[in-house]
């Protein structure tokens, strides 16, 4: 057992567990967005940044940093809240996150995080890049304007479904989540139509057709439910 402190609360972790795992077990809340139980951590969104007191205040992503003996972790502070709020503002400014017009209004992790962290306005100019919406799939749609590039769909498709349909195309601010060789989703030769990506999506980027906003509730926990039931070697 590894012993550490998170927000001055004694916490424990098994070898191989992360700071985030330890914090959750100890009842300390750390906000996350790209992290999803059952998927490999990628540390992409940086919302789970925590400060390590005995590493000279170094900032590390809690979801991707292994718990280590004696760590003195700050998970919540004014500095961290300010950093997390800035990250959220950048996410909001990058594409189009006008909640009132979104299918996921009320069931959106990005929206919930903004509420939790008190992000009540965006200080950066909105980019509004006017990206495409692909509704070619029979059951689902993808609206790139709502995408935060967390990659949960990409990992769900690869790691749980094993289809590897989704991938990141392009780079930087122009990155898009695309199917196969950039074909329209409905024409994908590898998509099984399982919908795990939709359940994993934290925002309204991936949505189910024929559902109104009030019904557009996702089940991100579905992935862990699937993998936990799998036979173990």
Partner 1 sequence: MTVATETRVAELVKAYAGRPSELIQALHRVQSELGHVPQEAQAVVAAVVGVPLSQVRGVVTFYHFFRTSPVGRHTLRLCLGTACHVRGAENILKAIREELGVGLGETSADGAFTVEGVRCLGACGLAPVMMVDDDVYGKLDPKRTKRILRQIREGEG
Q: Which chain residues interact with partner 1 by CB under 8 A?
A: 154, 158, 164-171, 178-182, 189-190
Nearer to partner 1, 110 or 157 (CB): 157
Residue whose CB is less far from partner 1, 128 or 168: 168
6 close to 70: Cβ distance less than 8 angstroms: no
Using the minimum distance from each CB to partner 1, give the nearer residue, 92 or 185: 185
CA distance 75 to 94: 26
Torsion of CA 154, 160, 163, 167, to 10 degrees: 10
Side-chain half-sphere exposure of 4, counting CA atoms within 13 A: 30
Whether 44 and 34 have beta carbons less than 8 Å apart is answered as yes
Starting at the edge strand found earlier in the chain, the sheet holding 58-61 runs 9-13, 2-6, 72-74, 49-52, 58-61
| Smallest gap from residue 81 Cβ to partner 1 (A) | 34
CB of 180 to partner 1, least distance (A): 4
Of 166 and 207, nearer to partner 1 (C-beta) is 166
Smallest gap from Cβ 112 to partner 1, in A, equals 29
Q: How far is the CB of 150 from partner 1 (least distance, A)?
A: 16
CA atoms within 13 A on the CB side of 115: 9
């Amino acid at each position: 057992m590894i012993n550490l402190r998170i927000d001055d609360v004694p916490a424990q972790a098994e070898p191989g567990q992360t700071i985030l795992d330890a914090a959750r077990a100890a009842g300390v809340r750390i906000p996350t967005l790209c992290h999803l139980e059952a998927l490999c951590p990628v540390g992409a969104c940086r919302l789970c940044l925590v400060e390590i007191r005995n590493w000279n205040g170094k900032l590390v992503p809690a979801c991707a940093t292994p718990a280590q003996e004696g760590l003195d972790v700050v998970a919540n502070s004014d500095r961290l809240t300010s950093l997390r709020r800035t990250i959220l503002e950048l996410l909001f400014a990058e594409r189009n996150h006008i909640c009132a017009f979104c299918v996921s209004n009320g069931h959106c992790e990005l929206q919930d995080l903004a509420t939790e962290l008190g992000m009540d306005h965006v200080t950066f100019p909105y980019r509004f890049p006017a990206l495409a919406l692909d509704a070619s799939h029979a059951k689902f749609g993808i609206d790139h304007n709502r995408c935060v590039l967390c990659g949960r769909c990409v990992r769900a498709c690869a790691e749980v479904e094993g289809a590897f349909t989704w991938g990141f195309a392009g780079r930087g601010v122009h990155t898009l989540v695309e199917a196969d060789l950039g074909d329209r989703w409905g024409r994908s030769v590898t998509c099984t139509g399982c919908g795990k990506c939709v359940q994993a999506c934290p925002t309204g980027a991936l949505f189910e057709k024929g559902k109104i906003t009030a019904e557009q509730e996702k089940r991100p926990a579905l992935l862990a439910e699937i993998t936990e039931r799998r036979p173990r070697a």
